[in-house]
Amino acid sequence: MPIVAVSNQKGGVGKTTTTLNLGAALQAAGKRVLLVDLDPQGNLSVAAGIPDVDGVYPSIGDLLMLAARGKPAKAPSIGGAVVHAPSGLDVIPSNGTLSAAELGLVSAMNRESALRNLLQPIAASYDYVLIDCLPSLGLLAINALRAADGVVIPVQADFLAMQGLAQILETISAVRDQLNPELSIYGVLLTMVDPRTSHAREVVQTVRQGLQGEVNVFDTEVRLAVVLKETARAGRSVLDYDTSSPAADAYRALARELMARVGDAPSTQTQKREAPRPSVVPKPAPDPAPPNDPIPEPEVVLAPEAAPDADMERTGVVPAAAPSPQEEIVRAQNGTAAEPPQPKLVPGGAEPLEFEAFLSGREAWLGSASR
């Protein structure tokens, strides 16, 4: 079953929140789930409820460090690194050791495949392995993309975050070309969407429009919800902390979309949440006061696939026709790089000009990412 990298080099876009809550939603659908924290910040480990991540041994960093040195016979196994966290999820935790491990990997044999080799013996014991990547496109992130069958790309509904999307798609193209031709993009996930602001609505519309027909954008959008900050502090998933919240609904909907994407069906029997094993001391009980959420959490919206005409009407963006094969041959003969078809902005269209750059570079950075 799939290994899923939750990746975006942009920081703070919802990778960790998505890994934890998507994992919890898959588990609630009866799937066996393993979360791998691949960030020296250890945020996923903490958000899953593991206390004192700095004292954890072996962490993913310890295992990668040993792998980089050529694993000694008595090295701990990957199975020994799995912690059944208080949130009810199996987690391979991380801490600052991972930074040292990354340095160690630089000169190692098969340095891009170290994580893949580590995960191989344990992946078969789980239906889904979700890797929470760090905000970088360095060697660790490349290891995650090498180990993964597919990628979920959280993108905050914010103009600058949207700009970073091009970079991760380019990296995925490069990893496909050189390391992992089978790597899929399961989808781009719009996060922290605040539907009250026109800015967020424009970003959502631009991302959907820009990737239409090329890269899947999940119908599910995760809206801005303070409860998701509270759950991280409480060391619990939102499905556990406030199961009837729109945020929990969103992650359940995302899990269904992902399962459909990988051709998996929810198990008929919902998995019971096991009591935490005593090996990990649960964090102090969270503040029981009901969340005082100043941000209204409207119902989760499943955005329908917009008809091209409807989109055009809303955004004023008209896709330009692709060059004919003859045009391409002439360009190749002249040695001029084929100009990607540039979407044009219809005068008076609703799309603000700042989004033009994102759309116009589309063909160039999509590369082979569009599958």
Ligand X SMILES: Nc1ncnc2c1ncn2[C@@H]1O[C@H](COP(=O)(O)OP(=O)(O)OP(=O)(O)O)[C@@H](O)[C@H]1O
Residue 341 interacting entry, from Mg ion, ligand X, none, C-beta within 5 to 8 Å by type: none
Q: Which stretch, 81-89, 90-98, 166-174, 223-231, contacts ligand X (CB under 6 A)?
A: 223-231
- For the CB of residue 365, give the shortest distance to ligand X in the complex, in Å: 20
By beta-carbon proximity to Mg ion, the closer residue of 16 and 171 is 16
- For the CB of residue 5, give the shortest distance to Mg ion in the complex, in Å: 13
- For the CB of residue 161, give the shortest distance to ligand X in the complex, in Å: 10
- For the CB of residue 14, give the shortest distance to Mg ion in the complex, in Å: 8
By beta-carbon proximity to ligand X, the closer residue of 23 and 343 is 23
**DSSP labels, 221-239:** EEEP-HHHHHHHHHTS-HH
By beta-carbon proximity to ligand X, the closer residue of 170 and 194 is 194
> Would you say 25 and 251 are in contact if contact means Cβ atoms under 8 Å apart?
yes
By beta-carbon proximity to Mg ion, the closer residue of 27 and 43 is 43
Per residue in 233-267, is it b (16+ CB within 10 Å) or e — as a string? Answer: ebbbbbbbbbeebbbbbbbbbbbbbbbebeebebe
Computed on alpha carbons and rounded to an integer, the radius of gyration of the chain in Å comes to 21
Q: Indicate which single residue of 4, 63, 139, 222 sits in contact with ligand X (rule: CB under 6 A).
A: 222
Per residue in 177-207, is it b (16+ CB within 10 Å) or e — as a string? Answer: eeebeebbbbbbbbbbbeeeeeebebbbbbb
Instruction: Give the C-alpha distances (Å, rounded to integers) separating 356 from 154, 203, 322, 345.
Output: 21, 12, 18, 8
By beta-carbon proximity to Mg ion, the closer residue of 23 and 343 is 23
Residue 184 interacting entry, from Mg ion, ligand X, none, C-beta within 5 to 8 Å by type: none
Q: Indicate which single residue of 7, 43, 113, 216 sits in contact with ligand X (rule: CB under 6 A).
A: 43
58 prior amide bond cis, ω within 30: yes
By beta-carbon proximity to Mg ion, the closer residue of 15 and 176 is 15
User: For binding to Mg ion (CB under 5 A), which residues are involved?
Assistant: 15-16, 43
Provide the 3-class DSSP secondary structure of residue 189. Answer: strand
Residue 79 interacting entry, from ligand X, Mg ion, none, C-beta within 5 to 8 Å by type: none
The answer to whether 152 contacts ligand X (rule: CB under 6 A) is no
The answer to whether 224 contacts ligand X (rule: CB under 6 A) is yes
Q: Name which of residues 163 to 192 contact ligand X (CB under 6 A).
A: 191-192
> Would you say 199 and 159 are in contact if contact means Cβ atoms under 8 Å apart?
yes
Residue 169 interacting entry, from ligand X, Mg ion, none, C-beta within 5 to 8 Å by type: none
The answer to whether 232 contacts ligand X (rule: CB under 6 A) is yes
∠ CA 229-136-198 to the nearest 5 degrees?
A: 50
Residue 224 interacting entry, from Mg ion, ligand X, none, C-beta within 5 to 8 Å by type: ligand X
Site string for ligand X, 119-138 (x = CB under 6 A): ----------------x---
Alpha-carbon distance of 251 to 121, in angstroms, equals 28
Site string for ligand X, 2-41 (x = CB under 6 A): ---------xxxxxxx---------------------x--
> Would you say 150 and 183 are in contact if contact means Cβ atoms under 8 Å apart?
yes
* Burial grade of 268 (CB within 10 A; 0-12, 13-18, 19 or more): exposed
- Cβ–Cβ contacts within 10 Å for residue 219, how many? 18
> Would you say 152 and 184 are in contact if contact means Cβ atoms under 8 Å apart?
no
> Would you say 153 and 187 are in contact if contact means Cβ atoms under 8 Å apart?
yes
Provide the 3-class DSSP secondary structure of residue 111. Answer: helix
The answer to whether 229 contacts ligand X (rule: CB under 6 A) is yes
By beta-carbon proximity to ligand X, the closer residue of 94 and 191 is 191
Binding site for ligand X (CB under 6 A): 11-17, 39, 43, 135, 191-192, 222, 224-225, 228-229, 232
